[in-house]
Chains A and B, each alone.
Chain A
Amino acid sequence: MKLKKKLLALSLLVLCFIWLSSCATVEKGVVDTLAAQGKISEKDKATILKTTEALRSTFADITEEEEYYIGRSVAALVLSKYRVYDQAELTAYVNRVGQAVVSFSSRPETYAGYHFLILDSEEINAMAAPGGFIFITRGLLKTCQNEEMLAAVLAHEVGHVAARHGLQSIKKARLMDAFKLMASEAASRLGSEDFQKLVSVFDGVLGDIVAVLVERGYDRKFEYEADSLSVKFLAQTGYSTAGLAEFLEQLKKETPAAGAGAKGWFRTHPLPADRLERLNRVSTASAAATASMPVRTARFQKMLQLAN
């Protein structure tokens, strides 16, 4: 009899544990449904939502959809500084190279997918807004000599998105403010004071990210990580991993003299020589990828004529 009681208690404990762990991850939608059906009171609903929102604390807790909305506005801000190079055929080609690399990346699916656009600037630059809005300048395109180099640059940008580097540039205090406001019932009412506060926090979030993308550049460790992700994605797609090293060699040649006012990638990225040094330790190109390069170089060169 004693044993039976013990077993019963144990089974109850197990069930309670499972119940609790499922509660901790109850979705807001479910809570809304329960409230709508009158199974829980509005007050309970508020408490539950508050608890789940309060659990959000880092960039990793930003949802895919929120990342998309941040990315859209970051993209609009980038586009306020550059003109688009509106060449449909070349844009489609860049998107095909990009999509090939995306398909073999660690994060091929984002809320609205990856999309690539060419900026009409002679400056050598490429940027990625959260969620997968990727920009590459005409100047950078012309610096590439083959498809592997272009794929390497795009894979580097995809790496920033995949590792959510943009979201990690949001100031921690600002993110905490955002999560706190999102937990407030009032913030859901358009025009309420909390909603207005949320909009201004959104503005701040965009400012944090754009400052890094356009002005300051990421922390070096993020750049090196994007480089190593680029090599990984290239290899998985079947590109020669030498593409990135070759591109960096080319960049080294074009690096402006010190004090000449660095722009674009020269301003926001570590020195090509430093990146190369780290790369050479990890990458060796596969023989198959090297052998098939001429086919790709030929189509690249044909397309590149459209960049002039």
Chain B
Amino acid sequence: MRKKSLVLFLVLVAAILVGLLMAETLVVKVQTTAVRKSPKFYAAVVKTLKAGDRVEKISVQNDWLQVKTSDGLTGWLHSSAVQSGKVSLTASDQSLKTGASTTEVALAAKGFNKQVEDAYRAQRKDLDYTWVDKMLRIKISEAELEQFLKQGRLAEFGGGR
């Protein structure tokens, strides 16, 4: 009887351990994102993350996730910036150590990527990407966004979320 409960206990511990490992890790899937002090886009930035970085989920509030970064900082991330972590039981997390995102590593060789774009552009010399790159550089800062919402009585400053 004692042996039975011991086995049961071990199975339970193993299941919980594996469950914890699998459920809590999230991987950043966008180029860069920020862990913020509170769950809103104009909140102060705690830490900037890049594609492939991993965080641990602590709690959920609407579309926002409270997370812990690899260096122990906590803050809020929007759920659209991450996907659930794909835990491999065979390999420790290499991306955290190398700094290269796992998607970047894989897609350096495959998929629609920079190499494919370059080859396409070599065929379409008539296409001009100057404004595409210019528009990508347009950035609205946290302070600017907050000021704009405040002045327009939007979001929490008016009738929004």
Q: Are A76 and B127 in contact (CB under 8 A)?
A: yes
Cα–Cα distance between A202 and B111 once the two chains are bound (Å): 10
- Note all chain B residues with C-beta closer than 8 A to A77: 127
Beta-carbon contact of B136 and A115 below 8 Å: yes
Q: CA–CA, A206 to B123, complex, Å?
A: 14
B155 engages A238 (CB within 8 Å): yes
Shortest CB-to-CB span from A259 to chain B, Å, is: 33
Number of interface residues of B (CB under 8 A): 76
Are B78 and A109 in touch, CB under 8 angstroms? Answer: yes
B61 on the A face (CB < 8 A) = no
Q: Which residues of chain A in 282-304 are interfacial with respect to chain B, using CB atoms and an 8 Å cutoff?
A: 286-289, 292, 295-296, 299
CB-based contact A238/B111 at 8 Å:
no
Using known A-B contacts A76-B128, A289-B158, determine if residue A109 contacts B4 with beta carbons closer than 8 Å.
no
The reply to whether B113 and A72 form a contact with Cβ atoms under 8 Å apart is no
Q: Is the CB of A133 within 8 A of B135?
A: yes
B69 at the A interface (CB under 8 A): no
Contact of B59 with A by CB under 8 A:
no
- Taking A14-B15, A26-B88, A199-B116 as contacts, is the C-beta distance between A109 and B159 under 8 angstroms? no
Closest CB in chain A relative to B38 CB, distance in Å: 13
Residues of B within 8 A of A104 (CB): 155, 160-161
The reply on A110 being an interface residue by CB < 8 A is yes
Q: Most A CB atoms within 10 A — which of B110, B128, B129, B139?
A: B110
**For chain A residues 56-75, which have a beta carbon within 8 Å of chain B?**
62-66, 68-70, 72-73, 75
Check B132–A75 contact: CB distance below 8 A.
Answer: yes
Complex interface bits, B105-148 against A, C-beta within 8 A gives 1, otherwise 0? 11101111111110110010011110110011011100011001
Binds B, one of A3-11, A211-219, A246-254, A261-269: A3-11
- Check B127–A288 contact: CB distance below 8 A: no
Q: Chain A contact residues (Cβ within 8 angstroms of B): what range? A: 35 or more
Contact flag A30-B41 (CB < 8 Å), given A95-B138, A288-B159? no
Q: A95-B140, A115-B136 are in contact. Are A11 and B14 (CB under 8 A)?
A: yes
Determine how close the nearest CB of chain B comes to the CB of A284; give it in whole angstroms: 13
- Residues of chain B lying within 8 A (CB to CB) of residue A23: 88
Residues on A lying within 8 angstroms of B by beta carbon are 3-4, 7-8, 10-11, 14-15, 18-19, 22-23, 25-30, 32-34, 39, 49, 53, 62-66, 68-70, 72-73, 75-77, 79-80, 84, 91-92, 95-96, 99-100, 103-104, 106-113, 115-117, 133, 147, 178, 182, 187-188, 190, 195-196, 198-199, 202-203, 205-206, 235-239, 286-289, 292, 295-296, 299
6 additional A-B pairs beyond A11-B14, A73-B127, A91-B138, beta carbons within 8 Å, are: A28-B102, A65-B111, A76-B129, A99-B145, A238-B159, A292-B154
State the 3 A-B residue pairs at the shortest beta-carbon distance, nearest first.
A238-B160, A29-B102, A288-B159
